[in-house]
Amino acid sequence: DAGVTQSPTHLIKTRGQQVTLRCSPISGHKSVSWYQQVLGQGPQFIFQYYEKEERGRGNFPDRFSARQFPNYSSELNVNALLLGDSALYLCASSEPQQGSTDTQYFGPGTRLTVL
């Protein structure tokens, strides 16, 4: 079975531009979470979507938005890019059962560089 896939793998943008990152979950998984990971820190939670509804949102500005499609794939959009948005963006899918104990399965990430 295919794991979580993300596209693109690398992306270079300039300040002020907009970017869309894509994620396809493991087949049968209905929940997708997005994380931002900066070198030397743990992943920072951005969003979780379950059954196309936002279930949780981290402490990120409104420039960050996401959505989940009927096939459970997801997009993360970031507007008005800042240099500080340069990071590895990870997507994780899970098959929600209890919530707190759900194992998350991660994709390879998208490396975003903002110049």
Residue 87 near another protein by CB under 8 A? no
In degrees, rounded to 5, the angle at the alpha carbon of residue 23 between the alpha carbons of residues 22 and 29 is 155
Residue 30 near another protein by CB under 8 A? no
Residue 36 near another protein by CB under 8 A? no
Give me 101's structure tokens.
């104990």
Say if residues 110 and 9 touch (Cβ distance below 8 Å): yes
Residue 48 near another protein by CB under 8 A? yes
Q: Judging by DSSP bridges, how do beta strands 87-94 and 105-106 pair with one another?
A: antiparallel
Task: Please select the residue that binds another protein; options are 13, 55, 67, 111, rule is CB under 8 A.
Answer: 55
Residue 8 near another protein by CB under 8 A? no
Query: Which span sits near another protein by CB under 8 A: 13-21, 60-68, 74-82, 104-112?
Result: 104-112
Of the pair 40, 84, the CB lying nearest another protein is at 40
76: CB partners within 8 A, 6+ apart: 20, 21, 23, 34, 46, 47, 64, 65, 66, 89, 91
Which residues sit at the interface with another protein, rule CB under 8 A? 3-4, 33, 35, 40-45, 48, 55-58, 90, 92, 99-101, 103-109
